[in-house]
Amino acid sequence: MSDKRQRARVQGSWAKQLPKHSGALHTVHTVYIHVTFWELILCVCVSCRFDLSRLRLLSGFLPPEEADWMFSKLLAELPWSQKTNYRQGEAYEEPRLTCWYGELPYTYAHSTMAANTQWHPLLLTLRLAVEQASGCSFNSLLCNLYRDGHDSIGWHSDDEASLGSKPVIASLSLGDTRVFSLRKQPPPEDNGDYTYVERIRVPLTHGTLLLMEGATQDDWQHQVAKEYHDRGPRINLTFRTIYPEPEGHRPGTKIRFTSKQP
């Protein structure tokens, strides 16, 4: 096996911990799982200084008994539906159910979700809790329901112009565990070939909050792949801030070209 391929395999295994003594700050550029307040402050400084990608994983953000009743309530009471998207002019049904909350509609994959402006009271409570934990405010929410292991979301970045530059995305998971995968954007000379890029896999458990910050949407794509063994339902709530589409932009325009599929 060539050195390059071997390195890619090793990097593609599991999420890395923040190195204990990473002498050169500019090499700290992937994923940090925060343990202490001081690590958090260090990462904020590093991210601001070097415009880096940053993930924060808060497992147990919701205690299991609370997460249990919240999951049942949202499953039963949100207006779930299946969205039709378009790829190269062909319509396809998303392999998951969704609903969208906020003041503005949200366009991706050439179709638009109308905004539910009346937030479910539980979603308002969760938004407040997520805002307090993240220190960010959010005006919109995309809710995903994966009915079983066959539901999924393909490789994409949340980089529509309407999300602004360097968006913070706060992703709260309820229900069965699914693996959230990330892959780094290849350098331009690799012409979109992801064979050797760095990869990270994070199992998102019931009640976990994942924060994606800094340049994460510029430099990485993410997905939740199909699984072929039994998986129960899972709800994922991604809080975002949406801005009116910039002047002259078609709704759903990406800042860099990647497609949310299927």
Ligand X SMILES: O=C(O)CCC(=O)C(=O)O
Q: Which is nearer to ligand X, 127 or 222 (CB)?
A: 222
Q: At its nearest, how many Å lie between ligand X and the CB of residue 122? A: 18
Q: Residue with structure tokens 């709704």?
A: 251
Question: Is 134 among the residues that bind ligand X (CB under 6 A)?
Answer: no
Paired tokens of 120: 């479910």
Question: Collapsing DSSP states into helix, strand and coil, what is residue 43?
Answer: helix
Among 30, 216, 217, 238, binds ligand X (CB under 6 A): 238
Contacting ligand X (CB under 6 A), which of 140, 217, 221, 236? Answer: 236
- The residue at minimum Cβ distance from ligand X is 236
Residue closest to 71 by CA, chosen among 123, 117, 134: 123
> How many residues comprise the chain?
262
- Give the nearer residue to ligand X in terms of CB position, either 34 or 222: 222
Please say which residue, 28 or 172, places its beta carbon nearer to ligand X: 172
Distances (CA, A) of 160 to 211, 250, 253: 18, 10, 6
Kindly tell me which of 159 and 198 has the beta carbon lying closer to ligand X. 159
User: Which contacts (CB < 8 Å, 24+ apart) does range 62-70 have?
Assistant: 62/172, 62/174, 62/206, 62/207, 62/209, 63/207, 64/206, 64/207, 66/207, 67/174, 67/206, 67/207, 68/206, 70/122, 70/126, 70/174
Residue ranges in 157-176 that form contacts with ligand X under rule CB under 6 A: 158, 171
Considering the complex, state which of residue 8 and residue 115 has its C-beta at the smaller distance from ligand X.
115
Give the H/E segment covering residue 41: helix 37-50
- Residue list 193-222, contact with ligand X (CB under 6 A): 204, 222
Q: Is there binding between residue 242 and ligand X (CB under 6 A)?
A: no
The least distance separating ligand X from the CB of residue 152, rounded to whole angstroms, comes to 9
**Minimum CB separation from ligand X for residue 156, in Å?**
6
CB of 254 to ligand X, least distance (A): 13
What crossing angle do the helices spanning 121-134 and 64-77 adopt, rounded to 10°? Answer: 130
**Bridge partners (DSSP) listed for residue 140:** 240
| Binding of residue 224 to ligand X (CB under 6 A) | yes
- Site residues (vs ligand X, CB under 6 A): 142, 144, 153, 158, 171, 180, 204, 222, 224, 236, 238
